[in-house]
Structure 1
Amino acid sequence: MIRTAMPADLDAIVRLHTEARATYYRGHLPEEEYAGPEEAARSRAGWERAIDRDGATVLCAERDGVLAGIAAHAVRDGVMHLSQLHVAPARWREGIGTELHAACVAAWQRDGVADACLEVFIHNTRAQSFYVSHGWAPDPAHPRAGTHLVLRLAVPVAPHPPR
């Protein structure tokens, strides 16, 4: 089930986010930069703002009543940004990321969004493959942002229901 996040989800969201990030940052960044107490506090504050912010959407994927994935998107500088999409590592390859991605794209279609962008850590090849398989491509104008690749998606036009 995909649903909108609520303030009561905050602790589970922060735990899942921290666990997922560790899988791709480990060995590339010092642990305190992705799992230390200061980073945990920054992450918690960011998720709390996103859940409560008008114009931002945070989605939760649940399996058997347990948080299995999260996604967040919002317009920034006039462009739709998929700022987060994480699946609990124990739930990888179950279609949860694809369901979250489809829910984001459906929302963008309803809102008339023509394209979106995201940033993915250069060493996170698993995520890069996922995004490419879902139609994302390198941004030709700005292919990198520091240690992250910038990808863009031309949001497909929503199919019209039969009359």
Structure 2
Amino acid sequence: MSAKKTLSREQRRALLATPAGWLACGFGSGLTPVAQGTFGSLAALLPWLLLRELSLPLYLLVLLIGFGVGVWACNVAGRTLGVDDHRSLVWDEFIGQWIALLPLLIPALLPASGFAWWMLLAGFVLFRLFDVWKPWPISWLDRRVKGGMGVMIDDVVAGVFAALVLALGLHFLS
């Protein structure tokens, strides 16, 4: 099956029938007919609104556990679909988006007025930009690393790039 092909009804059922598939497809957000990565990134914003209340060490622990579970879930889901990185697998967007928004949890980076919704929008757009554009080494990782790790790692790096740009932007604005 090509990574571009739409899922059949049976493949959708197979994904949603297991915890690994449910998680890998971002609780169903990756099953939209178009722009799965964008919808996955948007869906990731909802739990982030709760996660942002965590302490920074606990948030980082959630990211680490989410990454490890994501490698497993995307590996299982990819085997179910017969494709390493099908576009419906969007848990990597969740983790990448949460990494991109990391600077919004560091009070020293925020302006004196504190958090504003435009910052969330900026983090979202930056992550999507790096995830779609795939500058080196993201493109290299995307081509070379396979399985669940391959699904996850390029979005982690895209999230790091987006977080760095967001942090720099916040620094210069404050």
| TM-score, length-scaled by structure 2 | 0.29
Which structure's residues are more often helix, by fraction?
A: 2
**Structure of higher RCO (CA pairs closer than 8 Å, 6+ residues apart):** 2
**Structure number with higher strand proportion:** 1
